[in-house]
Amino acid sequence: MIFGRSERGKPPVEPVTLKILVAGGFGVGKTTLVGAVSEIRPLRTEELLTEAGRPIDDISGVEGKHTTTVAMDFGRITLREDLVLYLFGTPGQDRFWFLWDELATGALGAVVLADTRRLEDCFAAVDYFERRSIPFVVGVNCFEDAARYPAESVRQALDLDPGVPVVLCDARDRESVKEVLIRVVQHAMEHAAAVREAVTT
């Protein structure tokens, strides 16, 4: 770089930064998803599950889980030279939901991560983003010991609007997660265009 310009004579690209939330129930794979795709070491706020929290934390279906996110997960991924995503994973338990409003401020869109073994756990996240008109994609995290269902079956079970994308994914796999995030950006752009068209007509 010479005087702020590249050797080819082009000015440096100032990337557009977008904020995306990763939400869903307790133990659904939010921390795993952020960690799988982040190009920096993700910031995690995990604490050990304790005996004192047993009456509050429902670990049925995720008995092997020993930690929980108490504030947020944070990661970053560059999709293109001019497009960077900041990922904020929300805490899954009810008692930490007061943080969601702060995390949602300025968000372009969201991923609601779902586990078909405990699909009801993502109802609250779906309702949260619907009420605030934040565009979201449902990412069905395909756990190895979980039954596989077509995306349309998941849509019907969650009573989603027809325009909400449902994507099957593996929260451990970088390429799979990137596809989900690209779909969120596309869906958010389509949503914004529809809102602008409604305002001008």
Q: Write the pLDDT tens digit of every residue in 13-45.
A: 788 999 999 999 888 999 999 999 999 987 765
**Main-chain dihedrals φ then ψ at residue 47, nearest 5 degrees:** -130, 155
Element (H, E) at 4: none
What residues does 110 pair with on adjacent strands?
A: 21, 136
Residue 197 reports pLDDT greater than 80: yes
Q: Is residue 6 part of a domain?
A: no
Q: Is residue 37 part of a domain?
A: yes
Q: In angstroms, rounded to a whole number, what is the distance separating the alpha carbons of residues 92 and 121?
A: 9
Q: Is residue 8 part of a domain?
A: no
Q: Is residue 171 part of a domain?
A: yes
Residue 157: domain span: 16-200
Q: How much is the average pLDDT of 124-143?
A: 96
Q: Is residue 4 part of a domain?
A: no
Higher pLDDT, 84 or 7: 84
**Residue 85, SS3?**
strand
Q: Is residue 47 part of a domain?
A: yes
**Residue 64, SS3?**
coil
Query: What confidence category does residue 6 fall into, taking pLDDT thresholds of 50, 70 and 90?
Result: very low
Query: What confidence category does residue 80 fall into, taking pLDDT thresholds of 50, 70 and 90?
Result: confident
Q: Is residue 135 part of a domain?
A: yes
Query: What confidence category does residue 4 fall into, taking pLDDT thresholds of 50, 70 and 90?
Result: very low
Residue 7 has what pLDDT? Answer: 52
Q: Is residue 11 part of a domain?
A: no
Q: How many domains does the chain have?
A: 1
Query: What confidence category does residue 64 fall into, taking pLDDT thresholds of 50, 70 and 90?
Result: low
Looking up residue 117, the CATH number of its domain turns out to be: 3.40.50.300
Share of the chain above pLDDT 70, in %: 78
Digit-coded pLDDT (tens) for 141-178: 999 888 899 999 999 999 999 999 999 999 999 999 99
Residue 2 reports pLDDT greater than 50: no
**pTM for this structure?**
0.79
* 136 closest CA partner among 161, 157, 103: 161
Q: How much is the average pLDDT of 88-96?
A: 72
Share of the chain above pLDDT 90, in %: 58
